[in-house]
Amino acid sequence: MIEKTGGESVSTTAHKPQRLMQLIWRWHFYAGIIFAPFIVILSITGAVYLFKPQLEDWLYRDDYYIQEPQKQNGKLTPSMQVEAVRKVYPYGQITSYRPSDGPNRTAEVGVMDKGQSATVFVNPYSGRVVGQIKEDERLLEKIEKLHGELMMGTMGDRLVELAACWAMILVITGLYLWWPKEKTIRGALIPRLTKGGRIFWRDAHAVTGVWLSGFAILLILTGLPWSGVAGDLISKLATSTHTGYPAFAFVGGPKPESAKPTKQVADVPWAAEKVPVPESSGEATPLPLEQVMEIAKANQVASGYTVYFPEGDKGVYTVSLSADKPEDEMVLHIDQYSGKVLVRVGFSDYGWMAKVISIGIALHEGRYFGLPNQVIGLVVCLGLVAVAISGLVMWWKRRPRGKLGAPALPKDAKLTRGLTAIVIGLGLLMPLAGLSMLFVFMVDRLVVKRLPAVQQWLGA
């Protein structure tokens, strides 16, 4: 909710089309008032989730790590480790296995028991179960759900996507309002923090917002692939244009496929989520886990992968590696009887869109270049909180008593060609943004303007 531009109030910026300025300022105001709380929630939860690896290492250290590794005895075979878990959970279904990737690291066995999914941690040397964590009880899982859907399911997902859309509108309109009348540095690029009062809050809001604008746009765009509406369209576009997973991922030609996409049988990288799951053929004895791991090694799957067990007689083994660097990502679907690799999808196989999105997701989650990536993400998240709060403070200080204090609606509030292009562009990229912008414009133009009492309460 930037009130001034370059040290001059909006109302005195005579060289710019006054009506356009008022309209943009009004939209910026609406977006800030309605969605600032959502931006604060998303920024705080995002800042926490950035440090998921460190937080989970500390929270679950007794489950993740073995205090006294029995190196002299050597590790049990993967099948023996899984069997040890099966004895503790005789009525549970073993769903996955993640081998220990360090001398003091436990192995992880996924179990579906009494309708609940859990990860069981087993000492790879002794086979002793050292602990379990139910997936819906993980703190970072709850943070992720709050960040992605506000703990409200589909409705929350749509609200988060709408908030992200209007955050983009806030950035675009904010940059327009900020553009200084005179090219001065102080107040435009350097905040005047010693001035106090409204100048302090204006610069804390506007200048901080300008410096963070590029990062904010990057965060919004890289978060869209997870969204319900825009994300589904992006996925369909990548699939239809063959810029997502490759057709030649099906080694040796097309195979009989189930109706399931890969994301329904395994936790896989974004680019492989929609890959159809092939089916195993034959009725022989399923391969042992050790042989599946040898196949993964032969296909140069790096450590840190997880093996997902077949679902039924036609199911396949799925090997998935969601690495910090997308370049190491890999997904294999393996015939559970013959050991034939039916599907192999790695980063080098991705189409250009899948590559861009995968790198974007890694940057968004703070994984791509380690701690510096996390620190930059943290600074951006905290900066966005500061921008949102300072904008609310500015509004609270300037609002007339008993009124909302929105900028006045221009007498002739028409969509200019430029604004029309922006609406169409945002509508193509973020459908909820385009629809909601049209809705707000129509309400402002056709409803508010015809209700003097409402217009008086809204207006400054």
Residue type, 125: Y
pTM of model > 0.95: no
Q: Which residue has the higher pLDDT, 351 or 458?
A: 351
Which tokens is 265 given?
């049988």
Q: Are the CB atoms for 230 and 161 separated by under 8 Å?
A: yes
| CA–CA–CA angle 85, 109, 152 (5° rounding) | 125
Task: Cite the DSSP H helix spans in 365-416.
Answer: 370-398
Q: Which residue has the higher pLDDT, 337 or 426?
A: 337
Q: pLDDT category, 251, cuts 50, 70, 90? A: low
Residue 248 CB coordination number (10 Å): 10
- pLDDT tens for residues 23-63? 788 889 988 998 999 999 999 999 999 999 999 999 999 99
Please provide the DSSP assignment of 267-301 as one string: ---GGGTTSEEE---S-SPPPPHHHHHHHHHHTTP
Which tokens is 344 given?
């192999």
Q: pLDDT category, 359, cuts 50, 70, 90? A: very high
CB burial of 23-36 (b: ≥16 within 10 Å; e: otherwise) equals bbbbbbbbbbbebb
Distance, in Å, from the CA atom of 375 to the CA atom of 373, rounded to the nearest integer, reads: 6
User: Longest Cα pair distance anywhere in the chain, in angstroms?
Assistant: 84
Taking Cα atoms as reference points, which of 139, 140, 160, 136 lies closest to residue 148? 160
Q: pLDDT category, 17, cuts 50, 70, 90? A: low
- Asked if residue 259 has pLDDT above 80, the reply is no
Instruction: Name the DSSP class of 89.
Output: S
Burial degree of 253 (CB within 10 A; 0-12, 13-18, 19+): exposed
| CA–CA–CA angle 180, 382, 57 (5° rounding) | 155
Chain centroid offset of residue 285 CA: 41
Q: Which residue has the higher pLDDT, 25 or 130?
A: 130
- The segment with the largest mean pLDDT, out of 70-79, 106-115, 174-183, is 106-115
- Asked if residue 356 has pLDDT above 90, the reply is yes
